[in-house]
Amino acid sequence: MATEVTIEVDSEVWEALKAEAEPFVDTPNTVIRRKLGLGPPSDPVSAQGDGAQPHESPRRSRRRSSNGRVSVRKRAPRGSLLPEVEYELPILQVLHRHGGRVPAREVIEQVGEIIGDRLTPLDHEELEKGGKRWQKRVQFTRLRLVERGLIDKDSPRGVWEISDEGRRALTAGSTKV
């Protein structure tokens, strides 16, 4: 059994630890272990800290499905995926090239052709619920573009449509609004 030691940290260190933590998953100990390159604690009791449920290893999150089961999803390490910003212009380019309105599956497929040589091995990973990771990231990027007004939010289901603001961004070569 590992010996527990109490340490004091100043507020700046505490804020830095919180910034590195995955909410509802990490403890200060798991953040520090990750930063030091240590694996998860070998003693499950010390991993629990203050009596909470044992935490998963770093970069994993728990989800409760509709049937009540808890599944653990492995998250990709930071920096191991093509950043979502790299999907933005290709999405707008595909929409513009096809007159501004395209079925979602076609957009995803064509964006994959544009960025395929930049995708990492983890981007190509098959997800538990189906589809490749990069395909889901195209869909999440679309949501961000809708939030910023670059893609119309009122398009019919399954169809993506570029907005006037999206056309202006594409002409300017930047998706920054």
Most confident residue range from 47-51, 65-69, 80-84, 111-115? 111-115
- Say whether pLDDT at 177 is over 60: no
Question: pLDDT digit string (tens) for 59-104?
Answer: 455 555 566 655 555 678 888 899 999 999 999 999 999 999 999 9
- Burial (0-12, 13-18, 19+ Cβ within 10 Å), 139: middle
Determine contact, residues 133/127, Cβ cutoff 8 Å: yes
Domain ranges of the chain: 11-74, 85-172
Q: Please, where are the H alpha helices in the chain?
A: 11-20, 28-35, 44-48, 85-97, 104-115, 133-147, 164-172
Q: Is residue 102 classed as helix, strand or coil in its secondary structure?
A: strand
pTM as predicted: 0.59
Cβ atoms of 171 and 94 closer than 8 Å = no
Q: 17: burial class by Cβ within 10 Å (0-12, 13-18, 19+)? A: middle
pLDDT confidence of 53, banded at 50, 70, 90? very low
Long-range contact pairs involving 169-173 (C-beta distance under 8 Å, separation at least 24): 169/92, 170/89, 170/92, 170/93, 170/96, 173/89
Terminal-to-terminal C-alpha distance of the chain: 54
Topology annotation, domain 85-172: Arc Repressor Mutant, subunit A (1.10.10)
How does pLDDT run across 62-71, given as a tens digit for each residue? 555 566 655 5
Residue 147 CB-density burial (10 A; 0-12 exposed, 13-18 middle, 19+ buried) = exposed
The strand pairing partners of 74, in sequence order, are 60
